Amino acid sequence: MRSIVYMFLIVGAMVFLNGLQAQIPSSIAPGDMAKYEQMAKERGYTESDLNSARQKYGAHNQAGQGMLLDVKKITAGDVTDSTIDEDILNDTANHEVLNTISNTIQGLQFFGYDIFSKIPDAFKPNAIGPVDPGYLVGPGDVLRLSVWGQAEFQYELTVSKEGKIFIPVIGQVYVTGVPFETLQEKIKSLLSKNYSGLATTPQHTFMDLTVAKLRPVRIFIMGEVKQPGGYTVSSYATAFNALYSIGGPLDRGSLRNITVIRNGKEIANVDIYDYLLGGRCTTDVRLQNNDVVFIPPRGKTVAITGSVFRPAYYELNNKDNLNSLLTYCGGISSLTNIDRAQLYRVLPFDMREGVLSLSRITDIDLKNYLLKKQDFTLYDKDSIALTPLYNDMKNQVTLSGAVMYPGAYQSDTLTLADLIFKYGKLIDEKSFTVRADLFRLNDDLVTKKVFPIDLQRLQNDPSFNQKLLPGDSVLVYNKEVERPFDLFVSVEGEVNKPGSYTMSTNMTVADAIILAGGFARRAYRNSVDVYRHNNSSVDSLCDIFQVSLPDSFSYLDENVRSFRLKDRDRIVIRVNPEYNEIAMVKISGQVRYQGNYALISRSEKIIRIIDQAGGLMPDAYLRGAKVFREGTRLICDLDKAYYGKDERENVLVKDGDSIFIPKQPNTISVAGNVNNPGLFSFVENSNLRNYIGKAGGVQDSTEMYLLTGPNGETKKIRHFIKGPRIKDGSSIVVTKKKAVDQSNKKQGPTVAEVIRDTLAIITSAVTIIALAVQLRN
């Protein structure tokens, strides 16, 4: 039953692959149906199995009806060479086997095609260049003949369509098909009849013949290439050169059976594997005009994976089998298990008669084929997997830890003392010499026991030594197991290189500071703070020590070495409170001398900076002055501070402040919800209402008026009659009420709708009452 399903599925796939429009039969005769069911029963399938197959594949075992098959349709976009077999058999009982094949060869490349992935410029057609001695001259070539010595001349000679060149002193010479080296000798011989110096010894006349311009050769490359059609190649190109110059065959094209057709006859059969595996190909030929290079579809293809040098898909000729495949893949590694290789196969057409399963896994005794020089027949789409040897090394022990030479050692005659002291060698400054541990497998060969080893006794008492067993492992510990050796102190604050530093046993504060690059410029040098861990009680965290340093501090002063540091101490150097950098303020605009000015004292104010800058220019406008601190405008009225001597507005300045004093603007800005926003001339004593009027008045939905004075101070005004007087340089912004979102507003019936609905209800009630009265009467 399943073999019938396989047959129709595979036939359907082959119909697609060959581009046929044939129809697959939709039914099988009842007699044939019974025959296949009987065959299935003989191979152990139960009636329940057959019923499941009938349901799965649409089979009907009724009188007069055949077995109907729904063949999966495969489109060109759904199938590739490497997935056809899986697509055909995807819903069969061989699903797990095919999954194994797919996982084994997933990502495997087709051998040889990557050589064509990059085309060097040297292989592009070139009209000039040297030729080899065997180059055959032909029509279209341009030869350059040069003679010098007793006679001197130079001619460029074009080979005519008839294959001839004309040399003035000789006449016509037939050159087509003559190897270039032979042609040189031929022309020299002809010229020597007129120029005897060419033939004398020593020569008095010399000759040189070169190819000045190569003829183009037009060929056709057809079959399984990316762009079949006509190409122009160099006149000395071979079939391999031509393929190389266009990117080679497609993956589905053959590398083993490339034919060259000339005048309708096959003149050569090129095998690219000869180039790839041997570096030469004796069957390759030079191409001539109108030659056809034909690449047929790829032939028998077999995958090999596992413990080989070049796992890949390989194309095999009809005579190639297992031995050839092993040669192509570079042979097998010495670490390969040659007792068994796995062959995954989908049976070829001529082996499918009367079988229930089309796919096979076969174990191959590879040793017989390698040692007895036998061969094994392979078929298209076979896949062979070679497995590496299992690492069954048992005669070893391992040494690890604080030794010079850790690693694996031969355990056959090795003792514990030899392993540690003779071969591994302890490291004096690292190895913990009190104890090492020996780990030995238990009888279950999984769990281990640990045996403490007294290293000092092992070194001095031969009776304590013992022979090691296979699988033992020895660990020599580091001295850090006894006490920590990563001792350090940290230095932070006003030093040049703050950080953590390895502590010496007699380290002092001066030692730590010099390790940290010394005091920084702002450092307070008379004392430092040292913080130390305190584990004396649960509540204690650390102790604080304030170490005083003399005014005449020296790093070599022995008086400062009395306080010794301990592991994890943190040393903090504070900033000197009396240290100050020079603070600068920038002033620009309408002052006499713009630029940066230093602050003389901490109580420096803006007016003194203006005086330092030479005072104000005649058109300076202090009401509009702007003071910025850390990017933010500082609101103050310098007009009151400068002219009115108002100390409340004369603010203190800080390092980095910038002051800008503008010119008199003589304008008022009106913007926002007005009919004509813009700049308007300043008029002394004009109020808010005047400027709103000049701007055409406000529009609907006005909310408020924002009045910003020249010094940046802003007032909010909602209602006014005339409004405040406006200072020069002020700006007026009229804001608009936000629109109410009507969609979120609860919608209710209008008054008209309520009246209408009420009248309708009353009318209905009156009508009902009238009908009731009439019925009663």
What pLDDT band is residue 760 in, cutting at 50, 70 and 90? Answer: confident
Q: Which residue is associated with the tokens 């059976």?
A: 257
CA–CA separation, 647 and 724 (whole Å)? 25
Q: Are 587 and 614 in contact (CB under 8 A)?
A: no
pLDDT digits (tens, 9 = 90+) for 128-146: 667 778 788 888 888 999 9
Kindly state the average pLDDT of the residues 22-38. 50
Widest CA span in the chain: 160
For residue 37, what pLDDT is reported?
Answer: 66
Contact in structure between 488 and 565 (CB atoms under 8 Å): no
Model confidence band, residue 204 (pLDDT cutoffs 50, 70, 90): confident
Higher pLDDT, 110 or 123: 110
User: Do the Cβ atoms of 153 and 167 come closer than 8 Å?
Assistant: no
Closest CA to 257 of 247, 244, 267, 271: 271
Q: Is 608 helix (H, G, I), strand (E, B) or coil?
A: helix
**Residue range 539-559, pLDDT digits in tens:** 888 999 999 888 777 777 777
Q: In what helix (H) or strand (E) does residue 440 lie, and over which residues does it extend?
A: strand 431-441
d(CA 145, CA 280): 34
DSSP 312-354: EEEE--TT--HHHHHHHTT-B-TTEEEEEEEEEEEPPGGG-TT
pLDDT at 18: 39
pLDDT at 1: 39
Query: What is the secondary structure of 670-720 as a DSSP string?
Result: EEESBSS-EEEE--TT-BHHHHHHHTT-B-TTEEEEEEE-TTS-EEEE---
Instruction: Tell me what pLDDT residue 228 has.
Output: 92
Helices (H) and strands (E) in the chain, counts: 17, 35
Question: For residue 249, what pLDDT is reported?
Answer: 93
pLDDT tens, 569-589?
A: 999 999 998 888 889 999 999
pTM, rounded to two decimals: 0.46
- The Cα 308–Cα 336 span in angstroms is 8
